[in-house]
Structure 1
């Protein structure tokens, strides 16, 4: 028996015409979110564009390569005007500072390697902005992330993007089932970024050739240390570079200038074997260096786990999964042993180098594209 036209689902999964379906599009001003908004507008949806002002963009007007700066707000507004849908700019500076920037500074000072883009998605875009979308009586919220939402036996599931080179699952592991029910990701199935730019050209968008953002939005040119010094004056205090036996090998001008696994820029040449940063001791202001072998890790303590599997995490003593410990590395086979619903020990079958507290450990099916959640790497007990 054929479905009645009124009961067929539209492209966003609702049993009503696009014109009766309101969707809030989170618009950064880049090509990805602009294409999402234009595509949905062309399909006849009731589109509302929202751009977040996350920090003082007055100083960033001429800064390219970061989202949510002044030029990006202008670009998002222009796309909305060209496509004929309303656009709002919301001042989220205080929320962003409290939820993302302050933790970034504090964790970096504690010797961790934070990933603020994950916290921004978790605490700002998929929390406060999502609630704003509900307040606007939107049926759903759409973003330009490269990730797929698929309907499984138990409801919406999170899956990797079709284009592995653009996949953003590492930055979205903390998306909860409730958020996933409300979110849509219209670009996740596209084969490449070129396909996105072709759509931008098709819609005549002014941002069609706009470069991708590369840096963390509030960290110009990737210079973490300069940002931390501004946020936490006096943080760049000098100290000693020592080996694992405590021998002093040199001096440094602040722990914040170093990261786990770093080799270059240590200023301790003349040694037979190359040395790498293996530990940062903020309390003693020491940068500890050692051989590359000391960077290898197989056991990772993980906490604040967001689990997206069908069965409860703690329902089994262990799970065989794949994990990513860096956004740029492919998933590796691992065993996860739950300690509670939000804490676990992850054992990598093959050791990884340069794993640092503050990074995310993201869980994947061993076969297939589904993301099973993830958590935050910490120092352990």
Structure 2
């Protein structure tokens, strides 16, 4: 099989590419240049897709013995991921840029280019597994063996068609230590390279600062649930539901309890804060449903709303119809900090059933 291996410059993608080549596939490595700054340098272990990362990927490909290219996808990344991130925060929502990157870049733009060039599949270093266990033998997406590294949540929006053309050679690896050990055995220079973390296009980790620089200031009020003004802010885009620190409150609560962001309203430029119990909900509503398997009302599932959050027992209340675009899910136990824009992923055991985008909580 002709396989295009996405090589970020890290240890995971290098080992994945090596495993694909060892399995007998005709592998070509490609590094996706996503930064609009051609001189972007790596800072500590933050970020990815820098000049150093491209060189690390090139050296790994040479060691594996596969052709290697660098593709400039920075325009796609900026338009489809960065601009979406800014628009969502400006609308008072809380997006996950890694979900959007996987959906729109790694398994849309990259797969489209791979198809045009005659490749059969795309290989990445994600921690997840694809199996032919769906209805009629269709591709199904599963959690990885290493639950701590599992990335099925951020991959769920890819859908079954993209999953059928994807290889995740690390899905059955015991843990990250085993991946690094294999990289050492293969004499890949990235075996000790630190993991990247945080949002790759905000390498200093200052999300609020990035949003303020990009969206500007739009001063407004911080109020309680009764509308009393407690403080002021420089822009609602600096807040997300569930946030506790940096609220700009000028006096503590009368009962001394901590307060949290419970609502963000860009139209009125108001940030509403309140007690922690106001964050809990058992009812979820979501749009933009992507399914690996047909859902029916009453189906028992597990629901996850954060990449590293726990899945909780739930039941599908209703599915989208011609007159109602919403997927509704009832949780058997309340979860906190549900924010519009987050991704909802439904599981049956370790198998992904569906993904959707959360709207505002209803209860």
Match of residue 182, structure 1, among 147, 154, 165: 165
Alignment correspondent of 2:271: 287
Q: Does 1:101 find its partner at 2:82? A: yes
Measured after TM superposition, the shift of residue 130 of structure 1 is 0.7
CA distance in 2, matches of 1:242, 1:168: 37
Bigger radius of gyration:
1
Structure 2 unmatched runs, 5+: none
> In the alignment, does 2:359 pair up with 1:378?
yes
Cα distance in structure 1, aligned partners of 2:144 and 2:251: 44
Query: 1:363 aligned to 2:346?
Result: yes
Cα distance in 2, alignment partners of residues 65 and 32 from structure 1:
16
What residue is the counterpart of 1:46 in the other structure? 26
SS in 1 for 2:49: coil
195, 207, 224: which is aligned to 2:190? Answer: 207
Any idea what SS the aligned residue of 1:221 has?
A: coil
Q: For this pair of structures, how many residues does the alignment match?
A: 353
CA distance in 2, matches of 1:124, 1:282: 29
Partner of 2:142: 159
1:65 Cα deviation after fit: 2.2
| Aligned counterparts of 2:338 and 2:148: Cα–Cα separation in 1 | 22
2:4 pairs, out of 24, 27, 31, with 24
| Structure 1 residue aligned with 2:291 | 307
Alignment of 1:1-381 (within 5 A): 21-58=1-38, 60-63=40-43, 64-152=45-133, 153-232=136-215, 234=216, 236-266=217-247, 267-271=249-253, 272=255, 273-309=257-293, 312-313=294-295, 316-340=296-320, 343-365=326-348, 368-379=349-360
Deviations 1:297-349 (A, max 9, x none): 1111111011111xx33xx3331110101112111011112332663111111
Task: State the Cα distance separating 1:59 from its structure 2 match.
Answer: 5.0
Name the SS of the counterpart of 1:261 in structure 2: coil
Q: Contact between 1:238 and 1:253, CA under 8 Å: does it hold in 2?
A: yes
Secondary structure of 1:90's counterpart equals strand
CA-based RMSD: 1.7
Note if contact 2:262-2:274 (Cα within 8 Å) is conserved in structure 1.
yes
Confirm or deny: 8 A CA contact 1:65 1:211 kept in the other structure: no
Residue 32 of structure 1 contacts residue 144 of structure 1 at CA under 8 Å; is this kept in 2?
A: yes
Displaced runs of 4+ in structure 1, greater than 4 A? Answer: none
In structure 2, relative to structure 1, the CA distance for the partners of 1:380 and 1:260 (3 Å cut) is closer
Q: Is the 8 A contact 1:57 1:70 kept in 2?
A: no
Q: Aligned with 1:56: secondary structure? A: coil
Which segment is superposed worse, 128-137 or 221-230? 221-230
| Cα distance in 1, alignment partners of residues 22 and 355 from structure 2 | 36
- 1:380 is displaced (CA, Å) by 7.2
- Under a length normalisation based on structure 1, what TM-score does the superposition of the two structures give? 0.88
Question: Is the Cα–Cα contact under 8 Å of residues 241 and 289 in structure 1 kept in the other structure?
Answer: yes
Tell me which residue corresponds to 1:15. Answer: none
Query: In the alignment, is the contact (CA less than 8 A) between 1:48 and 1:87 conserved in 2?
Result: yes
Name structure 1 gaps, 5 residues minimum. 1-20
Q: Conserved in 2, the CA contact under 8 Å of 1:295 and 1:354?
A: yes
Counterpart in the other structure of 1:11: none
Task: Provide TM-score, normalisation by structure 2.
Answer: 0.93
Q: Is the partner of 2:346 in helix, strand or coil?
A: strand
More deviation, 295-304/76-85: 76-85
